[in-house]
Amino acid sequence: MNTMKMKRFSKKTVSLIILSILALLAFIPLYWMVVTAFKEPTLTMKFPPEIFPKNPTLQNFEALFKRRDLFRWTLNSVIVAGTVTITQIFLCAMAGYAIAKKRFPGSKIFFWIYISSMMIPKQVTIVPLYIMVANFGMVDSYGGLILPSIAAPFGVFLMRQFMLSLPNEIIDAARIDGAGEFRTFWKIVLPMSKPALAVLGIFTFVGEWNSFLWPLIVTQSSKMKTLQAGLALIQEEVPMEYAYLMAGATFAAIPMIIVFLSFQKYFLRGVTVGAVK
């Protein structure tokens, strides 16, 4: 028995060490970004580099916040990411519920055809998507930024997989009590799907907040740029000001960290969808 316990203890110890090393490696780029943001511009190229800045400064953030368009970019990112997240959660939840709990001709074929579109690289669809958006007159507008992203195959797949695990008896009981289809979905299905909704919300918000290529293409004026596309303009203006650029990257990362920390308990439950029934 002691030998078995020792083996289990050693396996756990080794696993813990490996996971700690991997977590540290994943944390290093984030740490270096933040540290560089608080360095004086003249010290960013110093060799050997300072792992802990001796004289941290806020001058990079002061210079960043003096840009009037920064807050406009931030507002645009909040509007786009927030609208897409809320809309996608609602639409993907309805689609996932219909596919998981409803039986209609061609439901499985439709589902797998729709999911197979995930294999198409986004770069392939940019040109036809831009032409479509231009034909609708939505270039350089919130419509052009938001509408192409309001539905996603991954979200439908995630919600469908989670809702398959919901007991049909509860849904049937709501119908027997006289609840309509939408009321059953709104009052019964959605509250039971909070973990999956949180995961989808986190993934969608982070993906839209970090979206760069499409906002860069579909926007023309500076006032319609999102934060990521706006930071690209700053990089063109001052390509060698690494401390200044890292201050912008740090500022852009704050909302993502807040969202993840706020919903991490649902995230940890949601990523195991389907693992335990």
User: Domain residue spans in the chain?
Assistant: 68-270
Mean pLDDT of the region 67-90: 92
Average pLDDT, the chain: 85
Structure pTM? 0.84
For residues 203 and 206, give the distance between their C-alpha atoms in angstroms, rounded to a whole number.
5
The reported pLDDT for the residue numbered 8 is 64
Say if residues 140 and 221 touch (Cβ distance below 8 Å).
yes
With a cut of 70, say whether residue 83 has pLDDT above it: yes
With a cut of 80, say whether residue 62 has pLDDT above it: yes
Percent of the chain with pLDDT over 90: 25
Question: What would the pLDDT profile of 232-266 be if each residue is shown by its tens digit?
Answer: 888 887 777 888 889 999 999 988 888 878 877 76
With a cut of 60, say whether residue 5 has pLDDT above it: no
Say if domain 68-270 classifies as CATH 3.40.50.300. no
Question: What would the pLDDT profile of 31-53 be if each residue is shown by its tens digit?
Answer: 888 888 888 887 777 777 778 87
For residues 230 and 80, give the distance between their C-alpha atoms in angstroms, rounded to a whole number.
14
Mean pLDDT of the region 138-159: 90
